Structure 1
C-alpha cells in the first residue's frame, strides 16, 4: 500500500502579512519546507503541495525536495478549494493520503508516523467531535488502506493530520465547501482518532513564533 502526503499551503495568511507558504520562523526556518520534511520523514511515499496565494516563490523553495506542486486557482474560496484541487490531482498510484496544513509548526514526523501506524491510544466514534468515543487500546497497529479514515487527536480534540483512503477522496471532493474542508464528511463517518497530545499541541498559529 502506498500513502502520499498532501500539504495545504495555498492561504493568503492575511494575519501573518504574507502568504502562508512564505512564512518563516524568526530563525529563518521555512514553514513550507519543514512541513514537507515532516511528511517525508513521517513515511509518505511522495508529497504534493497545494499552492494558491503565492506560487512562483514557494515553487522555487521546493526545488530539490522531491515534492510536487498543485495550484488551486480558486484558493480564495477557502480551504476546501485547496483540498479539492489536491485530492483531484493526486497520483493515481496512491492508496491513501495524509492531509496536513502548513501552519501547524509543532506537528512532527513522529505524529505522522503514529497516525499512519494507527498505534497509541485509538479513539473512535461516528461524528465524535470530542474524540472520546471509546478506546481500542494502546500499542495496537492498523495498517492504512483504501478505506482508511483516520486523524490525529490532541487531548481528545480532533486535528491534523488526517488520513484519507482512496475510497473517500471523491466523496470529500463532492462535499467540501468553504473553510470547512473535510470536516462535515468526517463528522458523518466512523473516524479512527489517534491520540497524539503527548507529541504536539496540533494548534495552528497566526504568526511566526
Structure 2
C-alpha cells in the first residue's frame, strides 16, 4: 500500500470549448505544455501519481511519466456529449481510483491547472487527516485539487458521466484547506483562459508564493 494518497491527473476530456487547432493540454506553456507543466508540479510534490488520458495524448503523457502510471480511456465525443454517455470526468476519476485501489486516498487534479503548486498538493493531502474529503481554497473560494479518503473507494470507483465527484463532496464532511495559491482557481477552457494563464505565469508578483503575513 502506498504511504500517501495518489494524485489522479485528469487528462481525458475533449476540451470542446477550446477552439484552437490542437488540444488545449498540448498548448505551449512555461517552456513545456499545459499538461507537461501540470505533471511537473505533481512530480515536484513527490506524491505518487497516475494520469488518466486518451490514446491521442498518451505519448505526451509518457514523455513525463512512466508507462505504468498511465491509464488510457476511450476518446470522448468531439462535440456535444449525450447526457446518457457514461464517459466523462466521473468515468476518468473512477478509472484512476480503480488503477490505484490500494491507495490510502486519492487527490484529483484536472490536467488543465498548471499553476497549482507542489506544496498545495501536499497541504490538501494533509486535510484528509480528520475528514473523508478535503479541497483547496483560496481567498474563501473553492478550487482544485480535491482529495478523498480510502473509505470512499466504492463510491469513487463506480462514478460515471460528466458530473465528477460533486455528489460525494456534498455528502461527506469536507475540510476546506485555505492556501496562498491562486493557481487552485485557474483552469483552462478557452483561448482567453490560456492567455490569462500565460500572463499569470509571467508575473512573478502573482505566481510566487505569498510571504507569511503578506
- TMscore range, shorter length: 0.7 to 0.9
- Is there any run of 5+ residues in structure 1 with no aligned partner, and where? 119-141
Matched, 1:160 2:141: no
RMSD: 2.5
Task: Kindly state the Cα deviation for residue 53 of structure 1 after the two structures are TM-superposed.
Answer: 6.1
Deviations 1:78-135 (A, max 9, x none): 211211111111152x2112110111122111211221233xxxxxxxxxxxxxxxxx
Tell me, what secondary structure is at the counterpart of 2:32? coil
TM-score normalized with structure 1 length? 0.73
Give the deviation of 1:72 after TM superposition: 1.7
Is 2:124–2:177's contact at 8 Å kept on the other side of the alignment?
yes
Closer, same or farther: CA 72–8 of 1 in aligned 2, 3 Å: same
Q: How does 1:44-193 map to 2 (within 5 A)?
A: 44=47, 46-52=48-54, 54-63=56-65, 68-73=69-74, 75-76=76-77, 77-90=87-100, 92=102, 94-118=103-127, 143=129, 148-174=132-158, 176-193=159-176
The alpha carbon displacement at 1:184 in A equals 1.1
Contact persistence 1:9–1:20 (CA under 8 A) = no
Partner of 1:131: none
Question: What SS does structure 2 have at the residue aligned with 1:62?
Answer: coil
Question: Cα 1:41–1:62, aligned 2, differ >3 Å: closer, same or farther?
Answer: closer
Deviation at 1:185, TM superposition (A): 1.1
| Closer/same/farther in 2, CA of residues 186 and 195 from structure 1, 3 Å limit | same
Tell me by how many angstroms 1:67 deviates.
Answer: 6.9
TM-score, with length taken from structure 2:
0.72
Corresponding position of 1:19: 23
Q: Deviation digits for residues 143-183 of structure 1, max 9, x if unmatched?
A: 47xx7311111222222111111111221233x34322001
- How many residues are aligned here? 178
